[in-house]
């Protein structure tokens, strides 16, 4: 019986640690999004500004946000945003899509990219948090 309680305690602790680490990643991603906020918006009231809204980014085709005027390069890129494509793009946008009008030096730190990805993935296409 003691072994059962010990196993349950270890499992509970592991789950709590996993949950708090995930929450920390999202919080770090939100801080990282500050670099994007000058051009992009998220959430239910998001609008296209200098850049398109980023609601529902993952699974979306590049150049497809209605009402945003994309570069020809972005529209023709034919990318579907997923973790790997986004990570490659955000490290150096002009290298991934030559001719993009996105002027951003990129985020090189892999952990920061993962945190930003976790943060962005919270928002569905309508800007509601999942």
Which pLDDT tens digits describe the chain residue by residue (130 residues)?
Answer: 554 444 444 434 444 444 444 445 999 999 999 999 999 999 999 999 999 999 999 999 999 999 999 999 999 999 999 999 999 999 999 999 999 999 999 999 999 999 999 999 999 999 999 9
In words, the CATH class of domain 2-120 is: mainly alpha
- Give the single-character DSSP code of 9: H
Residue 17: the pLDDT is 42
- Would you state the pLDDT for residue 19? 41
Residue 117 CA: distances (Å) to CA of 3, 34, 70, 101? 39, 13, 22, 21
The whole-model pTM stands at: 0.81
Report how far apart, in Å, the C-alpha atoms of 59 and of each of 79, 82, 96, 129 are.
Answer: 10, 6, 17, 16
**CB 58 within 8 Å of CB 86:** yes
DSSP assignment, residue 50?
S
Measured CA to CA, the distance from residue 81 to residue 41 in angstroms comes to 17
The residue count of the chain comes to: 130
What is the per-residue pLDDT for 20?
41
Q: What are phi and psi of 115, to 5 degrees?
A: -65, -45
Report the distance separating Cα 65 and Cα 15, nearest Å.
37
Question: d(Cα 27, Cα 25) in Å, to the nearest integer?
Answer: 5
Q: What are the structure tokens assigned to 52, written together? A: 């398109």
């Amino acid at each position: 019986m003691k072994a059962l309680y010990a196993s349950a305690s270890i499992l509970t602790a592991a789950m709590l640690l996993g949950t708090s680490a995930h929450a920390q990643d999202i919080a770090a991603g939100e801080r990282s999004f500050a670099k994007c906020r000058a051009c992009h918006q998220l959430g239910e009231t998001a609008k296209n500004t200098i850049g398109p809204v980023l609601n529902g980014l993952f699974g979306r085709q590049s150049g497809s946000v209605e009402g945003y005027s994309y570069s020809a390069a972005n529209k023709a890129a034919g990318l579907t945003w997923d973790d790997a494509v986004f990570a490659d793009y955000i490290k150096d946008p002009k290298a991934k899509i030559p001719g993009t009008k996105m002027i951003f030096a990129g985020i090189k730190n892999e952990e920061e990219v993962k945190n930003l990805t976790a943060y962005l993935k919270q928002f569905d296409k309508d800007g509601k948090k999942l």
